[in-house]
Amino acid sequence: MHKQQSGFTLIELIAVVIILSILAAAAVPRFIDMQSEAAQAAVDGVAGSIESASALNHAIDVAVAAGLTNTTDDPFVTVDNCNDGGTLLSGGSLPSGYSITSGAVSAGSTASCVLTLTQGSSSWTAGFVIIGADGGSI
């Protein structure tokens, strides 16, 4: 009777290790670049939050002006500059490392603004639109 053995040879195992090493070496730079993509996504998210908060703030401004509500029940923020975008966020200020380029906006008008995140020597930007509001009390 002839006994047959099965398994992998040393050459086959070395070949597999080499192939896996090449694949890993190709994948590592892609994962390192994801940090930059995550930072850009964070900036885009904050800019979107400011833009949404600005639209809500403007809606309250219009409702107060129309006599549908009052600033006691529905307070809103006076927005006359892009820098006021940070006050519209929860907590009333921008997260650490963020800044907004200054730019005037009049009540009821829109202005295009730029939000920047700076970390060390790197920076990421995102644009957003802010709507001016007049007479807020927060």
What pLDDT sits at residue 137?
Answer: 54
pLDDT digits (tens, 9 = 90+) for 21-60: 998 888 877 777 788 889 999 999 999 999 999 999 999 9
Task: Find where tokens 């009540």 sit.
Answer: 107
What pLDDT sits at residue 109?
Answer: 93
Question: Residue 31: how many CB atoms within 10 A of its CB?
Answer: 8
What pLDDT sits at residue 138?
Answer: 46
What pLDDT sits at residue 1?
Answer: 62
Greater confidence, 32 or 61? 61
3-state helix, strand, coil in the chain (%, to 5): 45, 20, 35
What pLDDT sits at residue 29?
Answer: 76
Judged by DSSP in three states, 98 sits in strand
Give the mean pLDDT of 116-138. Answer: 88
Give the mean pLDDT of 88-107. Answer: 92
Greater confidence, 54 or 9? 54
Give the mean pLDDT of 96-115. Answer: 94
